[in-house]
């Protein structure tokens, strides 16, 4: 047994019966391997209310302290759960692995029926680690930063609750890119290229690329196409006009910050990357074949 993971944290955002089942299965597996287990505070409260302990003392750990307390964090839920915890844990550099209890499960690498096998392999040292960089979006008003948030998938500039066209200009490293009218703009990492940006017509990018994709949302001109730029660039967006709407910056579709005409939105790479851990044999292209149905043909026949 590897000495690398002596303490493992278990966290979950959704608290459905299936998620609780996987939390308990993960706990049982880890304790059986002699691993010290801690729980996110909200997850532990739920277990204390609904499930009897198996005899071991259950220890709570705040999300703020998790990065220094645990050697590995197991996130149980869908990709949305991984996005939420990933933003919070990236700065600590603690590795994170996901057990998929959601839909697509692009980031969560372990299926519920594989918990015992895959966690055993990981704790034996059979794993790989991918570093997924985040974006940091800050809103500047009158020379001051009024808000700042991070995103693992994407930063989306949109008119808010109502569908309205907005006009903005975009700069990259102080070089003017374009003045555009559209329903908004998606700025995505390689991790987020298979999410909202893909639905909007953006390219699929390998997670190891150091690049950012800019995808217009329903642009006024058909020649406005997705643009891939260097990952170390700094984007600056300035809202020029918007009619009867309350524009906002949305990070991973989970955090929403309003802004107004005249504000500058600065988007750049966040200093710390999320360290996602995968069982050995994980392949990005296999995930694409499985999750995006690349291996299917018309008529229902599949290829290997």
Q: What is the pLDDT along the chain (304 residues), one digit of tens a residue?
A: 556 899 999 999 887 889 999 999 999 999 999 999 999 999 998 886 555 555 567 899 998 899 999 999 999 999 999 999 999 999 999 999 999 997 777 899 899 999 999 999 999 999 999 999 999 999 999 999 999 999 999 999 998 866 778 999 999 999 999 999 999 999 999 999 999 999 999 999 999 999 999 999 999 888 889 999 999 999 999 999 887 778 999 999 999 999 999 899 999 999 999 999 999 888 999 889 888 888 666 555 555 5
Q: What are phi and psi of 293, to 5 degrees?
A: 60, 40
Compute CA distances 101 → 27, 137, 194, 240, whole Å.
Answer: 16, 29, 19, 42
Burial 132-142 (b: 16+ CB within 10 A, else e): bbbbbbbbbee
**pLDDT score at 295:** 64
Residues of the chain with CATH 2.60.200.30: 134-271
**pLDDT score at 223:** 85
**CB neighbours of 64 closer than 8 A, spacing ≥ 6?**
none
**pLDDT score at 122:** 93
The CATH superfamily assigned to 7-125 is Probable inorganic polyphosphate/atp-NAD kinase; domain 1 (3.40.50.10330)
**pLDDT score at 95:** 96
174 in active site: no
For residue 248, give both structure tokens: 């906002």
For the domain spanning 134-271, the CATH number is 2.60.200.30
For residue 220, give both structure tokens: 């006024």
Instruction: With beta carbons less than 8 A apart as the criterion, state whether 59 and 148 touch.
Output: no
User: Of the listed 79, 154, 252, 263, which one is catalytic?
Assistant: 79
Taking alpha carbons only, the member of 93, 67, 81, 74 closest to residue 30 is 74
Within its chain, how far is the Cα of 183 from the centroid? Answer: 23
Burial 147-177 (b: 16+ CB within 10 A, else e): bebbbbbbbbbbbbeeebbbbbebbbeeeeb
**pLDDT score at 13:** 86
Separation CA 32–CA 57 (nearest Å): 14
Residues of the chain with CATH 3.40.50.10330: 7-125
């Amino acid at each position: 047994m590897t000495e690398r993971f002596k303490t493992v944290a278990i966290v979950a955002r959704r608290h459905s019966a299936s998620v609780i089942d996987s939390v308990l299965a993960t706990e049982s597996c880890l304790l059986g391997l002699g691993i010290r287990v801690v729980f996110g505070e909200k997850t532990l409260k739920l277990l204390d209310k609904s499930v009897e302990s198996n005899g071991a003392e259950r220890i709570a750990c705040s999300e703020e302290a998790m990065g220094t307390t645990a050697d590995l964090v197991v996130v149980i839920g869908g990709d949305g759960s991984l996005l939420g915890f990933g933003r919070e844990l990236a700065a600590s550099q603690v590795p994170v692995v996901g057990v998929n209890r959601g839909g697509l499960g692009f980031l969560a690498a372990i299926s519920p029926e594989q918990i015992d096998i895959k966690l055993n392999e990981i704790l034996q040292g059979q794993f790989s680690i991918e570093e997924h960089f985040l974006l940091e979006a800050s809103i500047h008003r009158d020379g001051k930063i009024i808000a700042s948030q991070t995103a693992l998938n994407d930063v989306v500039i949109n008119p808010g609750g109502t569908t309205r066209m907005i006009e903005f200009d975009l700069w990259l490293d102080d070089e003017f890119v374009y003045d555009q009218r559209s329903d908004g703009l998606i700025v995505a990492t390689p991790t987020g290229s298979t999410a909202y940006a893909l639905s909007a017509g953006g390219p699929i990018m390998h997670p190891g690329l150091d690049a950012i994709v800019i995808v217009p949302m329903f642009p006024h001109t058909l020649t406005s196409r997705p643009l891939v730029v260097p990952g170390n660039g700094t984007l600056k967006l300035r809202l020029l006009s918007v009619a009867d709407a309350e524009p906002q910056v949305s990070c991973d579709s989970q955090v929403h910050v309003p802004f107004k005409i005249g504000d500058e939105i600065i988007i750049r790479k966040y200093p710390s990357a999320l360290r996602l851990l995968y069982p050995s044999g994980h392949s990005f292209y296999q995930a694409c074949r499985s999750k995006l149905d690349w291996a299917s043909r018309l008529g229902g026949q599949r290829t290997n």
